[in-house]
Chains A and B, each alone.
Chain A
Amino acid sequence: MQRTEIINLASSLAKSYCLPPPARQARGRAGVYTGSGSGSSIDFHDFREYQPGDDLRRIDWRAYARNGSMMLKLYREEVSPLVEIIVDLSSSMSLHPAKEQGAIFLLAFLAGTLRNTESRPVLVCGKKRFTGGAFEEELLRLNFDDNEDFSTHQPLINNSLRFVISDFLFEEKLDHCLQTHCAGSAATCNLMLLSKSEKSPELFGGYRLTNCENPSERSDLRINHSLIEAYRQRLDKHQAHIAETSFRCGGRLAELITPDKAFTTDSANEIINALLMQEVVAIA
């Protein structure tokens, strides 16, 4: 499946979904989500003393009748949150074709979903940011060959909603990376994108395993069931660590599985189902 087809598929599927309300109020332009400041929604927010120039219609006359002070009723503002989508461009993301295609689909799907809620997604690729039309164009030419530090990118916007798309299959600076992505955000959702063989390896026999991001790291192993089981246990432990670290930073982890070779419509539906199940998106 070509990348254009994947983007079109994601855009068409995203029409039926939207972002669930963020747990913490985010900043942004007027929109449909409750913001962190006072606004014009119908949800009561706070009281404050009247100041000249305030709208007289919001004076709480009952309070004035009780104690003679002029108190003003404040209501929640409604915003369209600012969403930053941070994508891991390391070569491990393109280790399997379907994994790379899954990442593209996920980016396009999230962008489409966000547009349904009048949000403007920002694609953060390393030190570059893309928004609007540039977002779509960047999806077409995105290359997963950047082996730079995943945590090194442009400063992120405070109180933005963040989606981090990566496989998180690294140990070094993992905590730093998670903390950086969560710091100052309204909410951070780490989307752990794994291929099927990474989630459940099917290697048996003698293999010389080489780290795709660092070919000098090799290991000759005779892989058997016990080694596979040990791999799974380490992966579970790794995921638990990511989830715990994310939680401490105010974020969370969602796992998405892609096939190894061919990314199909079924694969897209599986990713969407996983997003729904883990409440990353909701049905519009």
Chain B
Amino acid sequence: MRIMLKIENMTMKFGGVIAANNFNANIEKGRIVGLIGPNGAGKTTIFNVVTGVYMPTEGRVIFNPDDREHVISGLRPDEIAKLGVCRTFQNIRLFKDLSVLDNVFIGNHLRIESNVFSSILRLPGYIKEEKEILKKSLYLLERVGLLQEKDEKAHSLPYGKQRRLEIARALATNPRLLLLDEPAAGMNPQESRELMQFILDIKDEFDLTIFLIEHHMEVVMGICEEIFVLDHGELIAQGNPEAIQNNQRVVEAYLGVE
């Protein structure tokens, strides 16, 4: 099995606060890996380090999409996205006032080859590219079931659909590694089950490796092949779902100790 993402001895400090302490993780290609932990455990911090929002205080992150290792810690978020890492956000960050279609269209922008002048003059090379982008965007919208709403403003969509739109937008960047920050937040059990199936489907269809943060244990235990458990910035457990469920430290972290 090839390692897609390697986080080595990563420490992230904010002044005196240690948000993540000496975190290590290897994520194998083609897997769905979960990251869980109580609130404030440092899960989103790890996502922010991987996607370049933060530069780790110590350690490094290595991304290996196709047998070439890239050290991505220290790169800008847009450079990391170009290499093939894309994400969704815990508190949805859509381009609110733009249409649903435009949101996905913009996800394609990083792969565009025409320059700005051929886009203004609408030269044949650009027109061809735009047609392909449009076709792909419409396909992705159909895939997430938002084709009907393509001309609506993104902020007018109900919550669950906004989450799906965020995934469609992330998929538009052609990622190899997709990071989902609480994809099932605010969903009812029925919606969660649909989401699980959806994640499994896109993983196969787009040949993805998925790293996700989630609080719904049903989702995490249902689809993750490997789980990392974080508490107060420390990795306290790692393993397959059964091992995690029976791990004493995990139970203590979630329920507290007498």
Q: Do A and B bind each other?
A: no
Chain A residues packing against B (C-beta within 8 Å): none
Chain B residues in the interface with A (C-beta under 8 A): none
